[in-house]
Chains A and B, each alone.
Chain A
Amino acid sequence: MTQTVMEPSQASPAKNPSLAGDAFEPVLIAFVCNWCTYTAADLAGTSRLTYPDNVRLVRVMCTGMVDPQYVIKAFLEGADAVLVSGCHPGDCHYINGNYKARRRILLLKQILPRFGIDAKRLRLTWIGASDGIEFAQTMTRFVKDIKEIGPCQARLQPVI
């Protein structure tokens, strides 16, 4: 499907210092499950595995509690990307919240790209409690990908 992306009519990089010049520093919101990815992030921290500080963790009890509205709001408020990360299939502390999250992400992936929010900006991953390395690698890779894509339009201008 083709996407027509129009030039933004207004942008105020002055108010977004991290967008000035070449040094684009994306801001990513990661909704991470308390029981797995949050623990993995903790593990990454204690193992001194670094990941970019562009990632802002929002701890949730379960990916199943991530209302599509949270993701929409995060983008409209200027997130360059959103990650939702929960337990591997079968591993959900709340039995099946991750499966429900997967359908909600699929829903959002049908909607957001229609408005120029690249599907690559919304990711869903399963990162278990012991996957500290995977957590750090995923975050590093995600930030790198988003740096390549550039800032999300909604960060450059207010959305009505």
Chain B
Amino acid sequence: MIASIQTKNQSITRTLQDFFADLLKTGAVDAVLVPSRISKSPYVKPCLITSADQMDQTVPLGPGFFVNAGPMVSRLTRTRADATIGVWLRPCEVRAFVELTKLRQGGRQDVIILSMDCPMALSRKDYEDWAAQGEGGLGDVDKWIHTVYQKPVTKADAWPVARACQVCESPYPVNADVSVMLMGADLDKEIPVRADTEKGEKLLAALDLTDNGQEPAQRKAMLADLTADRTAAFQAMDEEMLVRTGSIDALNRFFSACVNCYNCRSVCPVCYCKECVFNTDAVAYAPAQYLSWADKWGQVPMPNDTVFFHLTRLAHIGCTCVGCGQCTLACPSQIPVADLFISVTRNVRKAFDYVPGRDDAEALPLSVFQESEFTDIVGMGNKEVT
């Protein structure tokens, strides 16, 4: 079912705010999770809202993306909530949540996932500059919206979007209950909304929406163009990463500014461990051990295990990385962590023919196996997998 929501006051933001308010008012949901400004600052965070008159600070679509809401939804669904929660998620947030459900960190029973063609994000620095240009501490959100959805771009409103967004190959909703199809839509007039599941249908029906809309005519072609651009951008980034990290020496340089703060891990939506192995006694070495390493090479940099940490994280999230770019945003040393992780993990996913977030029923690659598979990686003289 595709419904059409009439645009109000020529503002998509306002229209969506009203849409969320209606969800609460009609009782279709008991709460919504939507990005909202904090104390009128430019920064937005996902907020769990139960009051229909608390919508004016929400920014449903904008270039601010400082928390991946996937883990927030997992927090809301770890045990039964006894409520229905509508969650408004970017595609990469849906992917993260789906992966977390596979890791039993949450469940879909109590949430209705609403997702959208992605409004993309700016890096922290660019976002602050963008926000400063607008009125009331925030940039012109509706202008941003009109720009990103009218022509497939990797730059929006003259601002270069974050690298992770530039290379994202699925900036449209997958595996949501309701998909908001903004790309190519006549946004002054209407927002086409598609129900993808029974839950989604019920939700739209509760708002008295009917099957009177259609997918914007240009949407598919525009998304295809966008994807093609982004594939090319990914290849460029991938090659850059090979140059910048293609040897142990280069890798050392790449991470040389890393201070082992583990922020990248803290913000990573699929790094779900309650306690990271790098916080445990597993890496608490005896003084003699450090001296032994130093003796081996003549020196040992401290804190050590920096590359070990990042490679371990690559092994842990190799299949589940959703490419949201939060790790780069969070790095105090401006290391483009996401560029490396997205490059490497896309390889990993290809090898396992796995796409995070694609399908709830798709098992985590390292949790399953088949008896006859990958036989070419076994043995001494066989074809190499690189």
Residues of A participating in the B interface, judged by any CB pair closer than 8 Å: 1-9, 12, 15-16, 68-69, 72-73, 76-78, 89-90, 96, 99-100, 102-117, 119-120, 123-126, 138, 141-142, 145, 152-154, 157-160
Q: Is the CB of B371 within 8 A of A90?
A: yes
Q: Is the CB of A110 within 8 A of B246?
A: no
A111–B242 Cα gap in the complex (Å)?
Answer: 12
Q: Is the CB of B245 within 8 A of A114?
A: yes
**Chain A residues closer than 8 Å to B287, beta-carbon distance:** none
* Interface mask (B114-149 → A, CB under 8 Å = 1, otherwise 0): 000000000000000000000000000000000000
**Chain A residues closer than 8 Å to B300, beta-carbon distance:** 158
Q: Could you give 10 example pairs across A and B, Cβ below 8 Å?
A: A5-B247, A6-B246, A6-B250, A9-B249, A99-B370, A107-B348, A107-B365, A115-B246, A158-B297, A158-B300
**Chain A residues closer than 8 Å to B243, beta-carbon distance:** 4
B274 at the interface (CB under 8 A from A): no
**Chain B residues closer than 8 Å to A110, beta-carbon distance:** 318, 344, 347-348, 351, 385
Q: Is the CB of A159 within 8 A of B307?
A: yes
B386 at the interface (CB under 8 A from A): yes
A113–B386 Cα gap in the complex (Å)?
Answer: 6
Q: Which B322-366 residues have a C-beta within 8 angstroms of A?
A: 343-344, 347-348, 351-352, 365-366
Q: Is the CB of B380 within 8 A of A141?
A: yes
Q: Is the CB of A115 within 8 A of B385?
A: no
Known: A76-B308, A76-B311, A153-B249. 8 other contacts (CB 8 A): A1-B386, A69-B308, A107-B365, A111-B314, A119-B384, A157-B297, A158-B296, A159-B252
Q: Is the CB of A15 within 8 A of B296?
A: yes
**Chain A residues closer than 8 Å to B277, beta-carbon distance:** 69
Residues of B participating in the A interface, judged by any CB pair closer than 8 Å: 241-243, 245-252, 255-256, 258, 277, 293, 295-301, 304, 306-308, 311-312, 314-315, 318-319, 343-344, 347-348, 351-352, 365-366, 369-374, 377-380, 384-386
**Chain A residues closer than 8 Å to B315, beta-carbon distance:** 68-69, 72, 107-108, 111
**Which chain A residue lies CB-closest to B243?**
A4
Name the residue among A4, A96, A100, A159 with the largest chain B CB count within 10 angstroms: A159
Q: Is the CB of B308 within 8 A of A124?
A: no
The answer to whether residues A106 and B344 also contact, given A6-B250, A8-B248, A115-B245 and a CB cut-off of 8 A, is no
Q: Is the CB of A126 within 8 A of B242?
A: no
A7–B249 Cα gap in the complex (Å)?
Answer: 7
Give the dominant DSSP class at B's interface. helix
Q: Is the CB of A123 within 8 A of B369?
A: no
**Chain A residues closer than 8 Å to B371, beta-carbon distance:** 89-90, 99
Q: Is the CB of A142 within 8 A of B318?
A: no
A116–B352 Cα gap in the complex (Å)?
Answer: 22
**Which chain B residue lies CB-closest to A115?**
B251
**Which chain A residue lies CB-closest to B307?**
A159
Which one of A96, A103, A112 contacts B374 once the chains associate, using CB atoms below 8 Å? A103
The answer to whether residues A114 and B344 also contact, given A5-B247, A99-B371, A125-B379 and a CB cut-off of 8 A, is yes
**Which chain A residue lies CB-closest to B238?**
A1
A99–B299 Cα gap in the complex (Å)?
Answer: 39
**Chain B residues closer than 8 Å to A115, beta-carbon distance:** 245-248, 250-251, 311
